Amino acid sequence: MYEQYIIHTKPENTVENGTVTGFQVGAKLPYYRGLGISMIEDVQLTIDGKAVAPENILVVLHGNTYTLKQMETEPEDRWEFGEVGTIKVLQPGGLVSGEHTVELLFNLRVSYMPVNAIRKYSKTFMV
């Protein structure tokens, strides 16, 4: 139901000290109540049909930056409903100008559901 809101902003390159180090995209959690981030089992990003390696994905929420591994054991932080987080990808050179298709997948562990909720959505952007 909330899948269409997963990808909130178009991808843009990230620059550190004058060097393009990757790209980022704004995202919203596709769950109506928000979750502790340790309940986000996985975040997968695919760009133009190519999966980004998990170790190259960072999640930024209200000023806190996490690797996917760090999210597994974070006891207190939450990603609230409607909150825009940033999915950062470490990729030297970032994205070249042109059309790109972004697919973002969340694998969520919700306490009252017997199986994980897997939600994904893709959009095509001009960068």
> Quick check: 6 and 104 in contact, CB under 8 A?
yes
Which of the 8 DSSP states describes residue 3?
G
pLDDT score for 74: 96
Annotated domain spans of the chain? 3-113
pTM: 0.92
Model confidence pLDDT, tens digit, residues 43-102? 999 999 999 999 999 999 999 999 999 999 999 999 999 999 999 999 999 999 999 999
